[in-house]
Every structure is written in structure tokens, then in C-alpha cells.
Structure 1
Amino acid sequence: MAFRSHRRHIGATMLPDNASTATGASAPIAHDGDDTPLALYVHWPFCVSKCPYCDFNSHVRDSVDQQRWRDALLADLAHEAALLPGRRLGSIFFGGGTPSLMPPATVAAIIDAAIQAWRPDGDIEITLEANPSSVEAARFDDIAAAGVNRVSLGLQALDDAALRFLGRAHDVGEGLAALAVAQRAFARVSFDLIYARPAQTAEAWRAELARALSFGTEHLSLYQLTIEPGTRFATEAAAGRLTIPDGDAAADLFELTRAMTADAGIPAYEVSNHARPGAESRHNLAYWRYRDYAGIGPGAHGRRHRLASVRRRKPENWLAAIDRHCHGIESEEPLAPQARAHEALLMGLRLAEGVDLARIARISGMPVAALVDEAAIDALPGLLERDGDWLRVTDAGILLLDAILPRVVRG
């Protein structure tokens, strides 16, 4: 079966699938413990409108009590900090929703609280997702002054008709103006595009991607459009009013994408993420390399001390939990060794670098033979590469990732 990538990174509603190292993807960290940098995810759940393809935990509200939300996020952060004392902090990621709608003062307060609670790395990565509207772009200088040093901009398309189809409020001109502001305001800039849209040809995508590459950003997140349950696009597809490219056409676009980005010097380091060497998203790499991360805000997930935490999803319910308990946790469950191993393998095999089976055996307490089916690996030459304890999916295999994983990873 052809691989169709999920749209985005991010640990707000699930283990990130979507979802870059301090020195680059070629230098994986080989140890674990309290000296390993922690990643902090902050979820802001509000949007101006709900995009028809989005299944993330995002909500539209007429008004938001900004002071109450700032205080609540700080309380949720303080709870996590008390559970993870003495840790180094390698990254902070503001996701959503639309976190560029947050007042810069709230962003600054959360960053200040985080670096007071933990020991920040000297080159800590602090990312904020932003919509490319002129209103939000006008805040970029203030957001940068608050401490954000990396922005991920949701351009989503470089075609006005496609933007209307995707339900985006901006047009191409406004998006590119916001990109120019972002490149002046922030040290590091990434942006997202969605491809494999209905009736999109290889020629049209080639031209759009070439234009995207011409802007010179260090990182691109390029996601194939998927029909997610519960979205307006899912309703349209079920009624026969929306059809996206089939598996073969999508695979052709995927291969074109990887070839063009590699030629431009920003190769894929994960299924849908591309970066110049050293510019990978350190925060997302913490997920994919299965490191500890704390998640605060509505619907945020976390992994710490072999526990899986989940915050309450609905904003009002999360706020009520903060009022009662000073944290928004809905559930907190220990992860069995098999579950930890399974998660680490499913996440890590998305990376171009692959996974260290010996490390996963060490953190799960299970032998390598219990983690993967060695006979299945041997039966897939050209799709998987094994070098001692390292296992990676090849460029040819990545197209079949969804089919390979169930055969190789023991459940």
C-alpha cells in the first residue's frame, strides 16, 4: 500500500506523528535519564475559525478571559515542574489551535516560568505556531521579544484557490508578507504546506514547491492532505463531494517532494519534515526519539517517568480542573514495557536516522527479539536496513511505512 503521511506534528491530541536535534538528525542521543533535555509542549486551543481538514483540539470562542488563561497555564506548568524537578529544558513548543493569538505577555510569562522551573539549555529552542494573517504578523516582534526564537508558519498553500478550499482566512499575498516579517523577526523559520489536494497535478505541485524552496527557510513541513474522521472534509468525502489523489498518485507526489527538497539541501529527516543539516526541529525530535516531554493546556499529552499523562480536552473542563486541582490532568497511567517499546519503535522508524534497538531494549527492559520480528526484517530487503543495533526504513520503504510497521514491530 502507498504511504499517506499524517498532516502535522504535534502532541496536543495524540502522540505526535507529525511533529527536529541540537546538532542535527545525524547525531542521535544514545543515553537516557534525568540529564536528557526535557521538552515542554504548551497547547493554546483557540482559533478564529475551524479549518475543514483539522481534527486537532481547536475551538472557536467569542471571547477569552486572557488573565484567567494565563494564570491557568502557569498553574498547569507549576504542577509539571514539581513532578520533574532538576531537569534540563531543551525546548518549548507553543501549539494549537492558534498560539499566535496569545498575548505576547502570556507567552513571555510561560517562558519565564519554564526557565525558572528548569535549567534551560544555552541554545534552548522556543517555537510558536502562527497563522500568516496581517494581524498576527504585527505581533511577531513582540513575540520574539518574549523569547520565542523559532516560528512555524501555517501558510498551507501558495495558491489562492487552494487556500479558499482549505478554509484559510489569508490569501497568498498576505501569507508571503507574514513570512517576510517572520524572517526578519525570528532566528529560525519554518512553514507548512499541504499537498496531494484534489485534482492537484505533479506539474502544479512541482511549481508550488519550487516557489516555496525559493524563500530560503531552513525547515519545511510538507503534509499530504488526509481525510480525518469528524472533520467537515470527512463529511464531504462521505457524501462523494470530495476526492483526494489515490495511493499511486499520492506516492508520486511524495517521491517528487523528497527529490526536490533533497536537491535544495533540505532533505527529509522525518516522513513529512525537511531541514537543512542542524536545523531540524529539536522539539519534535524529542517526540520521535522518545524522550521525556511535559504537556500543559487542554488536551495536551505528556510522557514522563514512564507515565502517560493526558489533560482534559475541552477548554472549559480543563479550566474547571485547574480551579479544583491546580492542574488539568484527566488521566495518568503507567506505561507497560511493551507499550513503551511499541511507541518508541513506531515514532523512531519515521526518522531517516532510524532507531537504536539496543536503547529501546534498555528503556523497556525487553530483549531486541521481543521488540521486532527479525525474520520479517530479513524478508524486506531494500525496504529496511539493519546495521548492528540500528534499524532504519529506506527511502523506498518509507512509501510503504504503514504496511511495514505492523509486519516488523511486535505488538
Structure 2
Amino acid sequence: MARALYIHWPFCLAKCPYCDFNSHVRDSVDVAAWQAALLADLRHEAEIAGGEPLHSIFFGGGTPSLMPPALVEALLAEAEKLWGFAPDVEITLEANPSSVEAANFAALSSAGVNRVSLGLQSLDDSALRFLGRLHDASEGLTALETAQSVFARVSFDLIYALPDQTEDHWREQLSRALGFGTGHLSLYQLTIEPGTRFATDVRRGGFMPLDDDRAADLFAITRELTTDAGLPPYEISNHARPGEESRHNLTYWRYDDYAGIGPGAHGRRGGLATMRHKKPENWIDAVSRNGHGLKEERALGVAEQASEALLMGLRLAEGVDLEALGKRLALAPASLIQPDKLIHYARLGLAWEEGSRVGVTSEGMPLLDALLAELVTDELALA
């Protein structure tokens, strides 16, 4: 049964040039219609995946901080009625740091949100302009101060490895960010995703992405500074003080069940992969017809589940317990990882093995994608 719930709000004020998420710009949104549809989608999932109190809820997007607080409150009230909440439930909402959205923070807190993930993305005005952000650095820091005064827990995102970014620039930016005292940071290298405006710009010669060697140097600086500041990496791009890790994201990375509602939302429950209609208009039409926004509900084979669990779990500093995963999926632990490759990369200092638990070292994390292709057994990789 799902103990985590993801709610997708797909609307943004503008589409960022690096973003490949399911986000859309619309002139207006019929809030009453969206509330009715989200509640219907929520009830459908609860009928199937209810039974245990929720330990985390995550409002993602899009830009959920554009949601009217009354809508957030209505969804949380219904989720609590349908599932129940664990005593220490984590309720996160992604927010952009515009003054319009920051003005909603107190009302969102009163609605039940107790953790915010703030998309600062940079502390540098020129970088923010390059990234297509609507806020400047001063507005971002004002929003951060407001968030810290309102919410029990605050995280914020930064994007680094921008074109021509130097080690000194990133070291100064990150040192400053660590001085704000939040318990969690999400630090992402800029990646050029297919279908984005940045992909078009690169193809046309508008700019050159930072080369891999220089990006790896910035990654090493990131790990050094966050560890020294008491926010070590617990996942390849996420850093937290002990006890302040994102409980919701750990649900994904530990391959536990979760329900997902709203346009394009994915879920995993009872060996099934669920996917909602992606385009907002198609999703809301489906809810009107069927009482839910599901586009696909597909049974996952055991090998595919094992592959997903490894691909997610090896992102974590804690790695994966092969014995526990094998028991859960009725597979021999030795069938999950290529033992000769594990020994080889452990000798190189890129992987580790402790009892039945295996993982990727800090030195191996910059090479994670290549290591996953090597470590996961051929049968699972092809699942």
C-alpha cells in the first residue's frame, strides 16, 4: 500500500529553457474544475492504494506555489480523510521565489504544508537571466527569508556547471548558500535535455555546455563544501543535515510504493506502474469521463522491478541491500549485481560492498550512469 502521495500541478508563469518537466503556461485556470478533478483522482487512488497512513505528500510541478492555498487545504483534508496521516507527516510544496508566490507562504503553511522546496537556482543575476528565471537574486533571497520564517523545514535548489562557470565562482556561490542555514540543499548540474529550448540553442551553436572534466571538478567542490558544512550528500544531487533528508524522495529512491495524481503523474503500487494523461486538458477530460486521470496501468515483471530498484537505490549514499531486495522480489541476491564487475570497481575505489549492502563511492558518483550499466546484471538491464 502507498504511504507517499505525489500531487502534480502543471502550470507555470513561463517555461524555463532547461526544463523538460510536464509544465505548461496557460492564460487562465478554472480552479473549481481543477479542484473537483484532483479530488476525484485522489479518491480513485485511495480506493486502490489506501490502508496505511501517509508519511509524506509532495506537491510538484509546474509551480505548485501558484495553487490557491484553499485548494491545497482541500486536497490535504481529503487525503487525511482517505488515508490518515502519520504523526510526523512530511508535506512538501515546490515553490518559485517570486514575490507573488512568497506572499502565499503563510497561507500555505496554515493549509498544512510544513516543508518547502524553493527554486532559487542561482544567487547570481546573470545566471538567472541565462536560465530564464523570472526572479532576480534579491527577490530570491527575500523569498528564502520569508520561507524560513514560515515553514518548519526549507530546502532550496541551485543549478551549477553552467557554461564557462569557474571553480572560484561556484565555490563562492555554494559557500554563500550554505551560510543561509537551511537543512537541505538540492544541487544539480545543468543538463541539456532533449526537446528543451537549451537543446535547440546548443544545436544551433548558441552556447557550449561545460565540458565533463570541469563539471567533475565542480562536483568534487560540491561534495567537499557540503560535507564540511554538515550537509553531506545522501543522494547524488541532494545534501542534508542528518534527519532532514527528503522523506518523500527517499520513497522513490528506496523503491517503496507511492501514489501519483494529476497530469503526467507516475506511481508505483503493488508491482504496477501507473501513469496519468500528460496534457492538462487530456487529463481533466479523462477524469470527467472515467473518474480518474489514468492513461496506463502496467504490471511490472520481477526483473524490471529489480532493475528499477537498483537504478534508483544506487543513487543513494546508503546503497542497496541486495538480500532485502532479493527477498522482496523472490530473487537470489547474487543475480542482481555482476559480482566480477563489483569486485573490479571496488578495487578502483568506485564501488563498495559491506555485507549484503552495495553502493557507489563518492569518487564513483560522477560516473554513476556508466557504473550502473556495468554493475546491474545483463538480464535486469534488458528488462
Structure-1-length-normalised TM-score? 0.91
Deviation larger for 239-248 or 340-349: 239-248
Q: Secondary structure at the match of 2:59?
A: strand
Map of 2:354 onto structure 1: 387
| Cα displacement string for residues 212-266 of structure 1 (whole angstroms, at most 9, x for unaligned residues) | 0110000000000000000000000011112111110000000000000000000
Structure in which a larger fraction of residues adopt helix: 2
In the TM superposition, 1:317-328 aligns within 5 A as 317-328=282-293
| Cα displacement string for residues 65-113 of structure 1 (whole angstroms, at most 9, x for unaligned residues) | 0000011001000000000231121100000000000000000011111
2:171 to 180, 183, 206: 206
| Cα displacement string for residues 25-44 of structure 1 (whole angstroms, at most 9, x for unaligned residues) | xxxxxxxxx5xx61100000
Q: CA deviation at 1:384?
A: 1.1
In the TM superposition, 1:66-85 aligns within 5 A as 66-85=31-50
1:56 to 3, 17, 21: 21
In 1, distance between residues paired with 2:272 and 2:230? Answer: 38
Amino acid at match of 2:356: D
Q: Secondary structure at the match of 2:353?
A: strand
In 1, distance between residues paired with 2:186 and 2:74? Answer: 28
CA RMSD in angstroms comes to 0.8
Q: Secondary structure at the match of 2:363?
A: helix
Structure 1, unaligned runs of 5 or more: 1-33
Q: Secondary structure at the match of 2:364?
A: helix
1:162 to 127, 152, 175: 127
Pairing 1:288–2:253 present: yes
Q: CA deviation at 1:358?
A: 1.0
In 2, distance between residues paired with 1:173 and 1:397? Answer: 36
In 1, distance between residues paired with 2:165 and 2:264? Answer: 34
2:270 to 300, 305, 330: 305
In 2, distance between residues paired with 1:359 and 1:308? Answer: 21
Q: Secondary structure at the match of 2:60?
A: strand
Map of 1:38 onto structure 2: 3
Pairing 1:407–2:352 present: no
In the TM superposition, 1:3-402 aligns within 5 A as 34=1, 38-380=3-345, 381=347, 382-402=349-369
In 2, distance between residues paired with 1:223 and 1:137? Answer: 23
| Cα displacement string for residues 365-400 of structure 1 (whole angstroms, at most 9, x for unaligned residues) | 211122111111011121111111100111111121
Q: Secondary structure at the match of 1:395?
A: coil
Q: Secondary structure at the match of 2:97?
A: coil
Q: CA deviation at 1:364?
A: 1.8
Runs of 4+ in 1 over 3 A off after TM superposition: none
Q: Which has the higher contact order (CA 8 A, sep 6+)?
A: 1
Deviation larger for 75-84 or 357-366: 357-366
In 2, distance between residues paired with 1:403 and 1:393? Answer: 11
Amino acid at match of 2:199: A
In 2, distance between residues paired with 1:163 and 1:364? Answer: 45
Deviation larger for 137-146 or 355-364: 355-364
Aligned residues: 376
In 1, distance between residues paired with 2:151 and 2:271? Answer: 35
Q: Secondary structure at the match of 1:396?
A: coil
Q: CA deviation at 1:119?
A: 2.5
In 1, distance between residues paired with 2:89 and 2:53? Answer: 10
In 1, distance between residues paired with 2:134 and 2:150? Answer: 22
| Cα displacement string for residues 279-332 of structure 1 (whole angstroms, at most 9, x for unaligned residues) | 000000000000000000000000001100000000000000000001000000
Q: Secondary structure at the match of 1:372?
A: coil
Q: CA deviation at 1:349?
A: 0.3
Q: Secondary structure at the match of 1:285?
A: helix
In 1, distance between residues paired with 2:332 and 2:254? Answer: 19
| Cα displacement string for residues 26-63 of structure 1 (whole angstroms, at most 9, x for unaligned residues) | xxxxxxxx5xx611000000000000000000000000
In 2, distance between residues paired with 1:195 and 1:346? Answer: 24
